[in-house]
Structures are given as C-alpha cells and as structure tokens.
Amino acid sequence: MLKLKLKLKLKTKSGAKKRFKLIGNGKIKRKKSFKNHLLTKKKNKRKRRLSEFEIVHKSDMKNIKKQLNA
C-alpha cells in the first residue's frame, strides 16, 4: 500500500497581508503609526515623516515572514 504525505498549504494572514509588503532585498516595509487622527496639533514636518515607510525591525522579521508565507 502506497502512503502519500501531503503538506497542507497555509493561508496568508489577511491582517499581515494588508499591513506589510515584501521588498526586493528580502526586507519588509510597514507604515508608521500615529497618523490616523488628532492631526491638527501635530506639526507638518512630523506628519510628513509619519507618511514615510519604515523597514521592519530584524527581531520581528521572522514572525512576519511566517505570517506572509514568504
């Protein structure tokens, strides 16, 4: 009798899919926080800096890649 072991495909976490993006060099980029509300009291320079993307810290990289199935 022939036994086949199939490895199930894992679904990508939809929350991670919306929040993170894999870039060319294997790193992951993310949006910065604190730019959703109460923007009138924040300076333009601060809001502009918060609009930029940031690279995910290396200690979180393994966990996020696992969620993205990358």
> Is the four-CA dihedral 17, 18, 23, 28 of positive or negative sign?
negative
- 3-state SS, 33-69, equals CCCCCCCCCCCHHHHHHHHCEEECCHHHHHHHHHHHC
Segment (H or E) for 19: helix 14-19
The pLDDT, as a whole number, for residue 70 is 73
Q: What is the pTM of this model?
A: 0.75
The pLDDT, as a whole number, for residue 1 is 64
What are the chain's domains? 14-34+42-68 (4.10.410.60)
- How high is the mean pLDDT in each 10-residue block of the chain (70 residues)? 76 92 94 95 97 96 91
